[in-house]
């Protein structure tokens, strides 16, 4: 049995042309806020705990209520973990790093001069001499008692 083509010869089959868009693979639960901004704000630790993180990813979550940053990660199986960081604002931010290092060294260490070491050496020598005299007297006394 032969099949007849019921369409005229001038008819072209219509295949819809879908517009191809370049989508980045992002989880459906990632919020629009995270896509548009580099800072993700959450309300408190409860907000950070409820924020969903894609497997094998880490996000920085900034607390809008406290001076806290949450680093929330998810392993390959999607199991989340979170680190809590507290941050403070420095009052004297104009100081350079070298100023801070030199201040720390000057506050934490004191150095002896050569004269100080010579005086200490003389004290040790005199103490040794006194101990030698005391040991000699003690040895003589023990020898006399026997």
Closest CA to 80 of 61, 60, 52: 52
- Where is pLDDT greater, at 34 or 87? 87
DSSP at 94: T
Q: What pLDDT was estimated at residue 32?
A: 45
Distance CA 106, CA 96 (A): 16
Q: What is the count of structural domains for the chain?
A: 2
- Give me 24's structure tokens: 């980045």
* pLDDT winner (highest mean) among 2-11, 45-54, 137-146: 45-54
Q: Are residues 38 and 78 in the same domain?
A: yes
The answer to whether position 3 is within a domain reads: no
Distance CA 61, CA 80 (A): 14
Q: What pLDDT was estimated at residue 1?
A: 56
The answer to whether position 1 is within a domain reads: no
The answer to whether position 5 is within a domain reads: no
The answer to whether position 92 is within a domain reads: no
The answer to whether position 123 is within a domain reads: yes
Q: What pLDDT was estimated at residue 53?
A: 93
Question: Alpha carbon 8 to chain centroid distance?
Answer: 72
Domain that holds residue 52: 32-86
- pLDDT tier, 54 (very low <50, low <70, confident <90, very high otherwise): very high
**What number is the average pLDDT over the span 29-39?**
55
Task: Tell if the pTM clears 0.85, that is, is over it.
Answer: no
Q: Are residues 37 and 75 in the same domain?
A: yes
């Amino acid at each position: 049995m032969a099949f007849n083509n019921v369409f005229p010869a001038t008819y072209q089959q219509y295949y819809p042309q879908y517009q191809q868009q370049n989508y980045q693979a992002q989880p459906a639960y990632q919020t629009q806020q995270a896509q548009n901004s580099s800072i993700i704000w959450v309300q408190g630790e409860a907000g950070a705990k409820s924020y969903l993180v894609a497997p094998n990813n880490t996000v920085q979550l900034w607390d809008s209520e406290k001076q806290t940053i949450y680093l929330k990660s998810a392993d390959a199986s999607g199991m989340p973990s979170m680190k809590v960081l507290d941050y403070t604002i420095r009052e004297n931010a104009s100081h350079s790093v070298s100023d801070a290092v030199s201040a720390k060294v000057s506050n934490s260490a004191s150095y002896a001069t050569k004269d100080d070491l010579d005086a200490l050496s003389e004290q040790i020598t005199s103490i040794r001499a006194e101990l030698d005299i005391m040991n000699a007297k003690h040895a003589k006394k023990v020898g006399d008692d026997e």
